[in-house]
Each structure stands twice: as structure tokens, then as C-alpha cells.
Structure 1
Amino acid sequence: MLTSNDIAKQRFDHAAFGGYKSDEVDAFLNEVANSFEELEEQNAVLLKKLEVLAEKLEEYRSDEESLRSALLGAQKLGDSVVRESKAKAELIIREANVKAERLIAGAHDQVEKEKLVYVRLQKDVASFKSKLLATYKQHLELISSLPDQINKEKAQAAAEKASESATAKEPEPTEEKQEAVSEEEAQATDFTARPEPKEGDYAEHDYEEPAPKAAKDSLPHRDTEEIVKKSPYADEYYEDFSDDEEGHGDGAPSSSNKKKSKFGTLKFGAGYDLKRE
């Protein structure tokens, strides 16, 4: 390939006849050399540009690969994130369902326990109520039996005293004392023969204590204390008791030898008089 320098140095031989003028040929060669030199320079510039473009193309190709790999990685990451999110959501829902079932089961168990406690409390209350009613009825029976014993003791004491006084004063008892003794014995027999109260009688009918008939002769206050002494609740009412009654020829108990009640003087019995209040 010719260069501009080869064209400028090219020389021709002189012809003998009819040749070209040397000056014109040299001028043309110079012009051709200059044009060829410009073309070479342009070609060099184009080559440089082509090299730059080729480098850029390689860069773009490498970037394209990286972008493609990045896109694929992002797509894979997105898919994995979606899968993990779905798996976590399913796990959370499953755990929430299990926890809810446990809470519901625990609530049901607690309700059943509370029901059992409620039933047991009802049974305890019913048992306590029945025991309390039974105790109350026993106390009522004990209280209702006190007048019977007192009247019986009064009748016996009146009969004994009437018989003693009749024996000491008269050979035969008077009609008035016989009537009094008969009334006392009839009253004692009536209270003794009375049937014991059954369960439920106190709830349906109010108990009315019959008024005891007054005896002709008053009995000493010791009779009531003898009855209370025989009661199983005597220890709860008395603090101290002494049976020593020496020095009393008339048989009446002294005030120092009587039992002292924790609740004060008993306001009932043969020795109690309402007029003293």
C-alpha cells in the first residue's frame, strides 16, 4: 500500500521525445500526496474511534451480563422472599390457631372447675344448713323438755310435801290438798305422755308452751338448779359449784353454795317471781 511519502518521492525518467512536463507532474504528485496524507489521518482517527467504540461495546456487553445476572438474582430473591413470607404467614397462622385452641380449652377447663367449686359450695351450704337446722331443732327439743321436767319435779315435790304435811298435821289429807296433788300429777302425766316433736313440726306450727298451774306451796329455787345440773350443758353455764350444804337444818341451799351462772340469774323456774322485777 502506497503512502503519501512514496508518492512525493516518486521520480520518472526523461523521455526523448513527447514526454510530460516535469513541473506539472511534480505538482500533481504533491497534490496527490497531500490528499493521500489527509485520508491517512482521517483513517487513523476513524480507527481510534472504532477502537473506543469497540471498548465501549465490550463494557456494555459486560454491563449487560451483570445487569442480566442482577435481574435474575433480584427475581430469585423476590421469589424466595415471597416463599418465605408465605411460609412465615402460614406458621404464624398455625401457631395462632394452636394458641387460640389452648386458650379456649383452658377457658373451658376453668369453667368446669368453677362449676365444680360452685356445686361443692352448694353442697357445703346445704350440709351446713341441715346441720344448723338439726342443732336448732335439738336445742328446741331440749328447751321444750325443760318445762316437762320442771313440772314433773314440782308435782313430785308437791306430792311429797303434801303427804308429809298431811301425815304430820292430820290423819287424812284434806280435800283441797288432794285436788292440788291430783292436778299436779295429771299435769305431769300430760307432759310426760306428750309425743316428741317430729322433724318439720317447728317450721309449720309455732310452739306454744302451756302455762303451768301454780302449786299451792312454793318450791325452793334449788329445784331449777338440780334440773340444770343434770343437763349436758351445765358446764357451760356454771363456773363453780359446791355441794357442801352443812349448817342448813331447814334443807334450803345457801347463797354461797349455789352455782354462779355466767349469764346471770336464771329468770325462770319455780323459785323465780316476776313481782321481784
Structure 2
Amino acid sequence: MITIDEIKNVSFRKAGRQGYMADDVDAFIDEVIVAFEQLKKEKTNLVHKIDVLATRVEQYRADEETVRNALLASQKVSDACIREAKEKASKIVREAETKAQQLLVDTNRMTATEKENYLLLQSDAVKLKGELVELYKKHLQMINDLPTAAELEAARQQLNEKYPTAPVMEEKPQETVKPAEPVAVEVKKPEEIKEKADITSDSEDDNTEKKSPKFGHLKFGDNYDVSAD
């Protein structure tokens, strides 16, 4: 492949009068050089772009691998979650069905028990009703056996005719009220009251004089001589 330097350094031989004109050849060569230089720049740009694109492709491939691994991991996690959710759902459904079945059995048993209790209560009610009716009949018969007012009056008349009695008037004894007895009150004269007061005062003075100190014979003091006694 021809290069730009070869184009620049190319030379043509002279062919006499029928040869090419040097100016035209030089002008053409200049145009070729410009075109080749532009092509070289474009090639360089394209190579650079290709390198950039190749780098990006490699990066995309690495990212793609990472994304693929992430997708695989997320797919695995998703599958595990779905599987676990299905297992839990199945377990919950089984437990719910078991509880519902047990609840149905318990409900039927309770219904049967309540029905039996209701029938027993109805039977007791019927029995109690019969007993109350019989008791009511007995009480009604006892009430009917009681005498009426007319029968009672007729019986009273028969007794009065068969056993006549005269009315008896009872006399109440009269109570006697005793008069109150007089109470004797002794009235003393003023002279007697004064004499009694004087006698009481004299007796108190005599008692005071008769009393003597219990330790009157004892002598005390700093100047007292014990040997004098």
C-alpha cells in the first residue's frame, strides 16, 4: 500500500512534448496528500473509537457476567422464596383444613349434646307440668271441699237449734285507789343548827391540840453537845 511519504517523494520522467505538465502533477499530488492525511486522521479517530468501543464491550461483557450472576442468584433466591412460600402455604392450608375438620367434629358433638340436653329439659318440663296439673287439681278439690258461706250459716243455725245458749254478761270488779301517805319532814330551828356547828368546831380544836410532833425530843444543830444528854 502506498504511503503519504511515497506520494510526496514520487518523481515523473519527462516524456517530451507529450508528457504531463509538472504543475498539474504537483497539484494532483498535493490533493492526494491532503486526502491521504484526512484519511489517516479519520483512521486514527476510528481506531481510537474502536479501542474505546472494545474497552466498553469488554466492560459490558464483565458487567453482563456480573448481571448474569446477579440474575442467576436472584433467580435462585426467587425460586427458593417461591418454593418456601408454596410449602408454607401448603402447610397452612393443611393445618387450616385439619382445624376446620376438628372444629366441625367438635361442633357436631356440641350440637348433639345440646340437642340431648334440650330434649331432657323438654321431658323434665312435661313431667313438671303434669305434676303441677295434678297438684293444682288436688288444691282445687280441697278448695271445692271447703264449706260455702250458706253452708256455714246453715251449720250455725243447726248448732243453735240443737244446743241453745243464753248470753252471759260478765261484771268487771271495781279497782280501789289508795290515798297517798303523808311524809314527815323534820324542820330544825336556827338555834339548834348554830349549837351543832359550835360543837363540831370545838371537837376539831381539841383534836389539833392533842396531836404532838413525833420527833419533838430530837435536837439538831452545829453547836449541840451530844455529851450533855
Larger Rg: 2
Q: What is the TM-score of this pair, normalised by structure 1?
A: 0.38
Q: What is the TM-score of this pair, normalised by structure 2?
A: 0.45
Structure number with higher relative contact order (C-alpha < 8 Å, ≥ 6 residues apart): 1
